[in-house]
Amino acid sequence: MSIKKLFFVLLIIVAISGYGIYNYVNFGSPIGKKGYEDVKLVDLLSFSKVYDGKNVCTQGFYYQTDSTSVIKTKLEDDLFTGSSWVVNETDKDQLLLDFTPDRGRVVNAKICGQFESKIDGQFGNPGAWKHQIKAKEFTELGESFRFKY
């Protein structure tokens, strides 16, 4: 084997190893982001038993106050209808960039994390939500605006 071929093989091995190490550090898997299934929020809430305990990504209206953190299918419904409690497990102190504790804010958002569901509804504050997402990733998909329930 010539020196050029050996160098090329070593270069490929180093590149693949670097890619694997980067993904393992950032995603916990050497092959990249693993185990997140894209699910519409309405389907996630309707078929909650299917997705219970699974890693999902979903999109909806994220509503936050100093004591409330939920993702909703529609803003027209009351706070508990068509919604899931959200627990912040990201490395951010707060999910909304422009959040102030004295005002409720809403933004269209994508949330990725572990989904949990219970029939007796023990999530949130008060423990009235039947569903919860432990958010590992949070992306604002537009501008947030002031909103009060």
CA 141, distance to chain mean position in Å, is 13
pLDDT per residue as tens digits for the range 29-47:
666 556 788 999 999 999 9
- Secondary structure element (H or E) that encloses residue 85, with its range: strand 83-88
**Which pLDDT value is given to residue 25?**
67
CA distance 101 to 103: 6
SS3 string, 28-69, reads CCCCCCCCCEECCHHHHHHCHHHHCCCEEEEEEEEEECCCCE
Question: pTM of the predicted model, to two decimals?
Answer: 0.74
Which residues is 135 bridged to in the sheet?
Answer: 88, 113
Domain 37-146: CATH superfamily, name plus number: Nucleic acid-binding proteins (2.40.50.140)
pLDDT per residue as tens digits for the range 132-145:
999 999 999 998 88
Give the model's confidence band at 106: pLDDT under 50 very low, under 70 low, under 90 confident, else very high: very high
**Which pLDDT value is given to residue 28?**
60
Judged against a pLDDT cut of 90, whether residue 149 lies above it is answered with no
The domain segmentation of the chain, as residue ranges, is: 1-34, 37-146
